[in-house]
Every structure is written in C-alpha cells, then in structure tokens.
C-alpha cells in the first residue's frame, strides 16, 4: 500500500525564503553526499543513512517542482560505488524500488516525469524493473523531469559517446568535419537535456566525483556541509537564491 503525502505548499515555500521564477535554474544536478556519515554520527549502520536520505529526495523534488525547475538530476549510484561493501551496495540499489513504491502515485499526480541516465544493463533486475515501470507510468507527464543517475560515471559516458560517434563515422552517418560540441553532446546520456545551471553537493566535500564531467563546464557550484539526510527545503532555496545573485559570463565580461 502506497503512502499519500501532499506536495510542499507554495505558501510554505514563500515563507521559508523569498522565491521568484526570475533566473530560476532550468536544470539542477545534486550530489547527495553524507548518508553514511549521518548514520555514523548516530551510532547507526551506514545503510540507515541511505534509507533516511530517501525522504530527503522527496522533499527536494517537491521544492524543485514548486520553484518551476524543469530538470532535477540526482547522483544516485556511481560506477565507483560498486567498491563499497556488498551489503551497502545491495541496500542502495533497493532504494529506488522502495522510493517509487511509496512516492510514485504522488509524483504521477503532480506531473513529474521520471527518467534515468547511466549503464542500466548492469544493475539488478529489481532496480531496472522499478525504474522502467516508473518511466513508463510517467512518460506522458510534462512537469519536472526527475533523472536518477544510476551506475553512472562521467568518464564512461564520454568514452561510450566517442565509441558511438566513431561507429557512425565508420558507417558514413557523419563526417569529422560535422563534429562540434553540439553534435558530440547528442551522443551523451543527456542528449535531450540542457546542461545543468546549478550543481549542489551536500556533505562538505568539494569535488565532482566523476559526475556530468562534460555537462558541468559552465555550471554554477554550491557546496554545503549539511549531510544529505538533513538537507532541507530551506538549504535548497538558499542555493537558488545564491544562484540568482551570481553573474554568468561564460568566458565573456
């Protein structure tokens, strides 16, 4: 039985921090870091932090939708995360199914569309099936696009894009003279998406961790020491507020 949880009230958002649609980032990417440390601070196993982080995902999806963000991409499981203990990996890869079991009806009713980027073929069947089911159920929605980056690695994405590109060249589908940044971007997982305007990383670390390496070339970064399970709508809105106060010159003046 799924749980019905109302989306975050717009008046509550405005009371938390003054928000405006003007200069709202179209695409926000988030590195959801700090779950394990959150659990350790409380004497709990690391997996408890990952489970607690699921509710934060829903809070931030609600806040993003209410702020009219068009795309939200969440770094859910990286190609490097396979190095973690087997029990932790298994727990993380069960979470998409648990998240969608609880929240998918509410996401559907609020016009959220779900997609995934990464190498889905090597994920467990239960993870793939849950994601594919959600993609199918939300494919006609045209509100916020929620991307789960699963078994995702930026370098692998670029290498795979190059392989596809060279294959097309060998098949005479394109020539080297036709290649430019825009054409190359079509071979990436994010081919149909705008590059992120804002990257948020929680947990105090200040690195990309192999996330969207091509796409983040001119993205604004916002880091916070707040661990992901404690990350709230207030911090999310603070990141948006700071973004609006930055001047993006893209190499110009």
Q: Active-site residue among 33, 147, 151, 197?
A: 33
Q: What are phi and psi of 147, to 5 degrees?
A: -100, 125
Helix and strand element counts for the chain (H, E): 8, 6
Query: Element (H or E) spanning 223, and its range?
Result: strand 220-223
Q: Is 127 marked as a binding-site residue?
A: no
Measured torsion, CA atoms of residues 216, 220, 226, 229, in degrees rounded to the nearest 10? -50
Known binding residue 207? Answer is: yes
137 is in an annotated binding site: no
The Cα–Cα gap between 117 and 126 comes to 17
Q: For residue 147, indicate whether it is catalytic.
A: no
Q: Is 55 annotated as a binding residue?
A: no
220 known member of a binding site? yes
Q: Provide the phi-psi class of 145: left if phi over 0, else alpha when psi is between -120 and 50, else beta.
A: beta
Q: Would the annotation count 242 as a binding residue?
A: no
Please tell me the number of Cα atoms within 13 Å of 171 on its side-chain side. 7
Task: Please tell me whether 74 is known to bind a ligand.
Answer: no
d(CA 46, CA 55): 16
Q: Looking at 103-213, which runs of residues are DSSP E strands?
A: 113-117, 145-152, 198-201
CA distance readout (Å), 205 to 78, 111, 170, 232: 16, 33, 42, 18
Catalytic entry in 14, 81, 192, 241 = 81
- The answer to whether 35 is annotated as binding is yes
Please compute Rg for the chain using Cα positions.
18
From CA 58, how far away is CA 68, in angstroms rounded?
A: 15
The response to whether 222 counts as a known ligand-binding position is no
SS3 113: strand
For this structure, is 81 an active site residue?
A: yes
Annotated binding residue at 50? yes
What DSSP designation does 205 have? -
Is position 84 annotated in a ligand binding site?
yes
Tell me: is residue 82 an annotated ligand-binding position: yes
Residues belonging to the binding site are: 33-38, 46, 50, 78-80, 82, 84, 201, 207-209, 220
Q: Which are the catalytic amino acids?
A: 33, 81
Residues belonging to the binding site for Mg(2+) are: 33, 220
Residues belonging to the binding site for substrate are: 34-38, 46, 50, 78-80, 82, 84, 201, 207-209
């Amino acid at each position: 039985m799924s749980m019905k949880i109302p989306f975050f009230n717009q008046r509550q958002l405005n009371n938390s921090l003054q928000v405006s649609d003007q200069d709202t980032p179209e695409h926000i990417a988030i590195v959801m870091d700090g779950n394990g440390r959150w659990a350790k601070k409380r004497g709990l196993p690391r997996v408890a932090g990952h489970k607690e982080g699921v509710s934060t995902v829903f809070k931030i999806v609600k806040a993003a939708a209410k702020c009219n963000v068009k795309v939200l991409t969440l770094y859910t499981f990286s190609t490097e995360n396979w190095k973690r203990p087997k029990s932790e990996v298994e727990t993380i890869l069960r979470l998409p199914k648990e998240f969608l079991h609880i929240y998918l009806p509410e996401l559907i009713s609020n016009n959220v569309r779900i997609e995934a980027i990464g190498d889905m073929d090597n994920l467990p069947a239960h993870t793939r099936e849950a994601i594919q089911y959600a993609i199918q159920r939300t494919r006609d929605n045209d509100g916020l696009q929620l991307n789960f980056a699963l078994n995702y690695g930026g370098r692998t994405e670029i290498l795979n894009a190059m392989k596809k590109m060279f294959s097309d060249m060998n098949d005479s589908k394109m020539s080297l003279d036709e290649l430019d940044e825009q054409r190359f971007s079509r071979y990436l997982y994010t081919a149909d998406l705008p590059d992120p305007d804002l990257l948020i990383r929680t947990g105090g670390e200040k690195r990309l961790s192999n996330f969207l390496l091509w796409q983040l070339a001119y993205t604004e970064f916002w880091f916070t020491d707040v661990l992901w399970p404690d990350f709230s709508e207030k911090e999310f809105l603070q990141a948006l507020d700071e973004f609006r106060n930055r001047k993006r010159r893209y190499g110009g003046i």
